């Protein structure tokens, strides 16, 4: 049921890297990032503490075509560096809207961004700053979905919001199967057993074990982020 005030005090948003491209073929579209940041700023102004894990799919993925033939770990480090670029762009746009943003990286790149230090991240959140977590988990063979589950659990987020290109979890990938139907809610076990490809199994398992629910919703739908934060029936809830 929707609330008059935010339903959550601290949230972790997993923002798809690909969403930052808009209709472009690659990279970062400033108009798109500006609109997304506007929506994030709106919930932050309501007093919600906001942390973001940003993906890298708009630039490089360790498993994608551009990495064919490469050593997997090397390709994954390139993917993590791609997320650092996105994090810098996101924080820059946040700072321009009046939010104070801090980027923290899971891999050392000290001349560019500060390292991830959990107590410091918690301090920033308490101070009302938006924290953008870059470089995923810092380890190859993982994804930024798993980083979202990990950081969400570490900072004590009440909800992971997977802000993506589709408006929820479907019985099959809705971009490939027009007959796919959307779930309003489902359990982590169902999502894993049915092998629903919206998030990887490591991320689902970590959230399940930590009893950290996930809301999957479309970042392209204006107002959807605020609706989720207000507790409205938006997207798909994945729960224990
Ligand atoms: N069962 C399913 N329900 C909904 N979406 C699904 C499903 N299976 C696969 N997908 C696909 O998963 C995609 C999720 O993509 P998203 O870009 O958010 O993930 P990502 O790869 O973690 O992010 P990034 O773009 O940063 O790499 C959707 O666009 C959708 O096409
Ligand atoms: O913990 C992590 C997170 C990410 N990677 C690599 O980065 C890219 C981009 O991340 P997405 O989650 O696909 O947006 C990913 O394909 C991996 O190559 C990683 O190695 N470890």
pLDDT in tens, 169-202: 999 999 999 999 999 999 999 999 999 999 999 9
Element (H or E) spanning 15, and its range? Answer: strand 10-15
pLDDT in tens, 74-90: 999 999 999 999 999 99
Position 4 pLDDT exceeds 90: no
Sign of the CA dihedral running 27, 80, 206, 36: negative
Query: Exposure string (b/e) for 58-81, b if CB count within 10 Å is 16 or more?
Result: bbbbbeeeebeeeeeeebbbbbbb
The residue whose C-alpha atom lies closest to atom 15 belonging to ligand 2 is 61
Ligand 1 contact, 57 CB (< 6 A) = yes
Say how far apart CA 140 and CA 73 lie, in whole Å: 5
Tell which atom from ligand 2 comes closest to the C-alpha of 17: 14
pLDDT of residue 65: 82
**Does 144 carry a binding-site annotation?**
yes
Model confidence band, residue 1 (pLDDT cutoffs 50, 70, 90) = low
Position 207 pLDDT exceeds 90: yes
pLDDT in tens, 34-57: 999 999 999 999 999 999 999 999
ipTM: 0.96
The residue whose C-alpha atom lies closest to atom 14 belonging to ligand 2 is 55
Ligand 2 contact, 106 CB (< 6 A) = no
Model confidence band, residue 67 (pLDDT cutoffs 50, 70, 90) = confident
Complete domains list, the chain, with CATH? 10-164+188-239 (3.40.1160.10)
pLDDT in tens, 24-40: 999 999 999 999 999 99
Position 2 pLDDT exceeds 70: no
Best residue for ligand 2 mutational test, from 14, 83, 104, 134 (most atoms within 8 Å of Cβ) = 83
Q: Write down the residue that tokens 């729960």 correspond to.
A: 239
CA 20 to ligand 1 center in whole angstroms: 14
């Amino acid at each position: 049921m929707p609330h008059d005030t935010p339903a959550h005090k601290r949230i972790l948003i997993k923002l798809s890297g690909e969403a930052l491209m808009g209709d472009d073929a690659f990279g970062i579209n400033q108009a798109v990032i500006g609109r997304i940041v506007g929506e994030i700023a709106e919930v932050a102004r309501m007093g919600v503490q906001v942390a973001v894990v940003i993906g890298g799919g708009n630039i490089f993925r360790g498993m994608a075509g551009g990495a064919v033939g490469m050593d997997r770990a090397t390709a994954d480090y390139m993917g993590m560096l791609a997320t650092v670029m996105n994090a810098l762009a996101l924080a820059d746009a946040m700072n321009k809207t009046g939010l104070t943003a801090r980027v923290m990286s899971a891999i050392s790149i000290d001349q560019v961004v500060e390292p991830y230090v959990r107590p410091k991240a918690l301090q920033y959140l308490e101070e009302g700053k938006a924290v953008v977590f870059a470089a995923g988990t810092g380890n190859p063979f993982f994804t930024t979905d798993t980083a979202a589950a990990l950081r969400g659990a570490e900072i004590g987020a009440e909800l992971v919001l997977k802000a993506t290109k589709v408006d929820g979890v479907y019985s099959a990938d809705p971009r490939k199967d027009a007959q796919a139907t959307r779930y309003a809610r489902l359990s982590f076990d169902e999502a894993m057993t049915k092998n629903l490809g919206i998030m990887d199994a490591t991320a689902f398992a970590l959230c399940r074990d930590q009893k950290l629910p996930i809301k999957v919703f479309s970042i392209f739908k204006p107002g959807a982020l605020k609706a989720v934060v207000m507790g409205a029936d938006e997207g798909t809830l994945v729960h224990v």
